[in-house]
């Protein structure tokens, strides 16, 4: 059940923004305000209203907060492995400005709850399981050093608005592992590994190229499950709260490619990984006990079920090109 409120969805044209609006549309008593920068979102409903805004402007952020009860801060410029290989601090300043401006504007407007979708990039690289309280132990890995510290600082800002000011604004930080879904871009320069592999396999690339090290591991979680976690955290959290969110199982990139090929019946698929291409860290073990115990959150979408939806989405795009 979604509580009747005025919700602001920042980043409404992206993967998580689209997922959120599909869940909020036509819900009784719900008004959704979708904020986008340069790409007009596609979800239409009588209770969804769109506004174009550059969130690096504090004044613009203040304007869009009028009458808002809950903010889903899903806006941000993704820094994928190819982007980070070219420029390790790409997008850092813009993302920091957007996060800080939205928190300030929400606080000044009297927003009740603010949900920020962070990441696991701030965690150090170690063999032990990483829990929420481990976020500041050691340095982020070299590959994520800049974006990891940006994520850490935004979490500190969230804590300040919830606990260090005369009036408290509930701020909730979710640290998902790798999110995937059918509304992500399939542009290989901008996409994460799963949609890039889906594109190559559906296009029957031979051999299928895998960038970097195919044996690194990833815990992938479907976007709709992440939004379930957002709703549970809204319902059950007050003050400041942080939660690690993931499916709870790691897969090698090569195994993910195999699953995609099997689902799409690419029986004679061959895989060839190129270690000269940008890659990422080998993987980390993230602990999800807090989300399970405090929120009752358990993801319901299997990797196979989610991949099938991503394949269908890409084929739908190809059919209309």
Q: What is the pLDDT of residue 192?
A: 83
Q: pLDDT for 294-308, tens place per residue?
A: 999 999 999 999 999
Concatenated DSSP letters of 44-89: --TTEEEEE--TT-HHHHHHHTTT-SEEEE-------HHHHHH-TT
- Total length of the chain: 321
Angle of helix 303-319 versus helix 253-263 axis, rounded to 10: 60
pLDDT greater than 70 at residue 108 = yes
Q: pLDDT for 141-151, tens place per residue?
A: 888 899 999 99
Which residue range forms the structural domain that includes residue 163? 6-184+219-248+284-301
Q: Which residues of 213-222 are buried (b: 16+ CB within 10 A; e: fewer)?
A: bbebbbbbbb
Please check whether residue 81 lies inside any domain of the structure.
yes
Give the domain CATH number at 135.
Answer: 3.40.50.720
pLDDT greater than 70 at residue 281 = no
Contact by Cβ (8 Å): 113, 234: yes
Please check whether residue 115 lies inside any domain of the structure.
yes
Please check whether residue 210 lies inside any domain of the structure.
no
Q: What is the pLDDT of residue 321?
A: 74
Residues near 265 by Cβ (< 8 Å), separated by ≥ 6?
Answer: none
Q: For a pLDDT cut of 70, what percent of the chain falls above it? A: 93
Confidence category of residue 78, pLDDT binned at 50, 70, 90: confident
Least confident of 7-16, 187-196, 277-286: 277-286
Closest CA to 261 of 213, 217, 202: 202
Which tops the pLDDT comparison, 265 or 275?
Answer: 265
Please check whether residue 197 lies inside any domain of the structure.
no
Q: What is the pLDDT of residue 279?
A: 55
Section 12-35 average pLDDT: 97
Please check whether residue 214 lies inside any domain of the structure.
no
Full-prediction pTM beyond 0.85? yes
Please check whether residue 237 lies inside any domain of the structure.
yes
Q: pLDDT for 219-232, tens place per residue?
A: 999 999 999 999 99
Please check whether residue 203 lies inside any domain of the structure.
no
d(C-alpha 81, C-alpha 202), whole Å: 22
Number of structural domains, the chain?
1
Please check whether residue 156 lies inside any domain of the structure.
yes
Contact by Cβ (8 Å): 213, 229: no
Q: For a pLDDT cut of 90, what percent of the chain falls above it? A: 80
């Amino acid at each position: 059940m979604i509580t009747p409120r005025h919700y602001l969805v920042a980043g409404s044209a992206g993967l998580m923004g689209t997922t959120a609006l599909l869940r909020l549309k036509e819900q009784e008593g719900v008004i959704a305000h979708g904020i986008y920068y340069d790409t007009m979102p596609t979800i239409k409903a009588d209770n969804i209203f769109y506004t174009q805004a550059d969130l690096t402007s504090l004044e613009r952020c203040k304007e869009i907060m009028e009458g808002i009860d809950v903010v889903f801060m899903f806006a941000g410029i993704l820094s994928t492995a190819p982007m980070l290989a070219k420029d390790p601090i790409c997008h850092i300043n813009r993302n920091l400005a957007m996060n800080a401006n939205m928190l300030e504007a929400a606080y000044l407007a009297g927003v009740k709850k603010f949900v920020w979708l962070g990441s696991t990039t701030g965690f150090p690289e170690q063999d032990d399981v990483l829990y929420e309280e481990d976020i500041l132990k050691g340095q982020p890995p070299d590959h994520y050093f800049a974006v990891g510290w940006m994520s850490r600082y935004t979490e500190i800002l969230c804590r300040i608005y919830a606990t260090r000011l005369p009036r408290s604004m509930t701020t909730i930080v979710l640290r998902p592992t790798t999110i995937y879904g059918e509304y992500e871009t399939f542009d290989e320069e901008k996409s994460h590994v799963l949609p890039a592999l889906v594109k190559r396999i559906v296009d029957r690339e031979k051999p299928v190229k895998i960038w970097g090290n195919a044996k690194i591991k990833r815990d992938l979680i479907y976007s709709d499950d992440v939004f379930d976690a957002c709703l549970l955290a809204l319902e059950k959290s007050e003050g400041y709260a942080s939660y690690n969110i993931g499916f709870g199982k790691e897969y090698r990139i090569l195994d993910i490619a195999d699953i995609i090929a099997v689902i799409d019946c690419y029986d004679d698929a061959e895989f060839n990984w190129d270690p000269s291409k940008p890659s990422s860290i080998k993987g980390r073990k993230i602990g999800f006990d807090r989300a399970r115990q405090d929120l009752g959150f358990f993801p319901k979408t299997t990797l196979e079920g989610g991949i099938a939806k991503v394949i269908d989405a890409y084929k739908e795009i190809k059919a209309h090109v």
